[in-house]
C-alpha cells in the first residue's frame, strides 16, 4: 500500500489559479494511477492540510487492520501519508502549517506522516522557466542584449527561501546567458516593483524589462507582478491560464519530492 500523496498548495481565490493546481494534481494521478492523491491547502481554500492528513492516516490504519496488519504503515515500514508542498520555496507555510500538521498526526495517531521538500529549487523548474522566457520572446521579441531580466518570486521572511530563489535565478541566468535579478512579492528584498525600476534605470534607454514569473499559477502575486511596470511578464510556472494539461515536468517534480520523502 503506497503512502497517500497530499498535494498542499497555498490556496487562492483566483479561479484560474485553482484550476492550475487541480490540473497539476490530476496530472500526478494520471502519471501514477496506483497512488492515492488528495488535495489540501494552508490558506484561503478548504480543506485544510491538517484535516486531510488526519483522514488519510485514519484510512491507512483502517486498511491495515482489514488486511491483518498491526500498524498503519505499509509493508516496508514507510509513512502512511506524504505531504508534498505544492509551493516553490520553503517559508512559513512549510515550516509552520505543514510541519505542525505532520507533528500533530504523528503525536496522536497510530500511523505516520512525513513532509516532503517544497518543489523548488529543482533543475526541471529552471527548464520550465527557460521555456516560459522563450515563449514570451516568441510573442514579444526578439529580446535584445540591453533588455533586463528579473525573476519574480512570492517571497518569504525565511532566509532559506531567498537562498533557494537565488539558486534558481543563477541557474536561469546560465541557461539564458544573461544576468537575472531575483526579486520578491513580499518578505524579502528587493521587491518586484523596485527590481523592475532599478533594471529600467540600468538599461540604455531603449532596453526593456522582462519579468520571469517564478510563481506557480495565477493569483494575488501574479496580479502584483503584472502591475510592477515591466514591459513583458512571462506565464507562471504552471503555464498559461486555461492550459489543457499540466506541464509533465512539473508533475515529475511533485513525484520526485514524494519519492524522496517515501525513501529518504
In a shared domain, residues 31 and 100? yes
Assess whether the previous peptide bond of 28 is cis (omega < 30° from 0).
no
Classify residue 151: in a domain, yes or no: yes
Classify residue 238: in a domain, yes or no: no
- Picking from 172, 12, 142, the residue whose alpha carbon sits closest to that of residue 87 is 12
Domain boundaries, position 101: 4-119+243-262
Q: Cell 526541471 identifies what position?
A: 124
Coil, strand or helix at 152: strand
In a shared domain, residues 212 and 257? no
Classify residue 249: in a domain, yes or no: yes
Q: How far is CA 11 from the centre of its chain?
A: 12
In a shared domain, residues 224 and 147? yes
Classify residue 39: in a domain, yes or no: yes
In a shared domain, residues 188 and 208? yes
All cell numbers assigned to 252: 515529475
In a shared domain, residues 18 and 114? yes
Classify residue 139: in a domain, yes or no: yes
How many domains does the chain contain in total? 2
> How do residues 168-215 score in pLDDT, each as one tens digit?
999 999 999 999 999 999 999 999 999 999 999 987 667 999 999 999
In a shared domain, residues 139 and 167? yes
By the 8 A CB rule, do 153 and 89 touch? yes
Here the CATH number for the domain that contains residue 77 is 3.40.50.1400
> How do residues 12-61 score in pLDDT, each as one tens digit?
999 999 999 999 999 999 999 999 999 999 998 999 999 999 999 999 88
Amino acid at each position: 500500500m503506497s503512502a497517500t500523496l497530499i498535494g498542499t498548495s497555498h490556496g487562492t481565490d483566483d479561479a484560474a489559479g485553482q484550476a492550475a493546481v487541480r490540473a497539476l494534481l490530476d496530472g500526478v494521478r494520471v502519471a501514477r494511477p496506483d497512488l492515492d492523491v488528495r488535495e489540501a491547502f494552508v490558506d484561503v481554500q478548504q480543506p485544510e492540510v491538517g484535516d486531510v492528513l488526519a483522514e488519510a492516516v485514519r484510512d491507512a490504519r483502517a486498511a491495515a487492520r482489514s488486511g491483518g496488519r498491526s500498524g498503519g504503515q505499509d509493508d516496508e515500514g514507510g509513512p502512511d501519508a506524504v505531504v508534498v508542498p505544492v509551493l516553490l520555496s520553503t517559508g512559513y507555510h512549510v515550516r509552520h502549517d505543514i510541519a505542525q500538521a505532520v507533528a500533530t498526526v504523528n503525536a496522536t495517531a497510530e500511523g505516520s506522516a512525513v513532509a516532503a521538500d517544497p518543489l523548488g529549487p529543482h533543475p526541471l523548474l529552471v527548464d520550465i522557466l527557460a521555456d516560459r522566457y522563450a515563449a514570451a520572446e516568441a510573442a514579444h521579441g526578439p529580446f535584445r542584449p540591453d533588455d533586463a531580466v528579473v525573476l519574480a518570486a512570492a517571497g518569504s521572511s525565511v532566509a532559506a527561501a531567498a537562498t533557494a530563489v537565488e539558486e534558481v535565478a543563477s541557474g536561469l541566468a546560465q541557461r539564458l546567458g544573461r544576468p537575472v535579478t531575483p526579486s520578491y512579492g513580499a518578505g524579502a528584498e528587493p521587491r518586484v516593483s523596485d527590481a523592475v525600476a532599478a533594471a529600467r534605470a540600468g538599461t540604455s534607454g531603449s532596453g526593456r524589462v522582462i519579468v520571469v514569473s517564478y510563481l506557480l499559477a495565477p493569483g494575488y502575486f501574479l496580479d502584483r507582478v503584472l502591475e510592477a511596470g515591466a514591459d513583458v511578464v512571462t506565464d507562471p510556472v504552471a503555464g498559461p491560464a486555461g492550459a489543457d494539461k499540466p506541464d509533465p515536468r512539473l508533475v515529475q517534480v511533485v513525484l520526485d519530492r514524494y519519492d524522496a520523502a517515501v525513501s529518504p
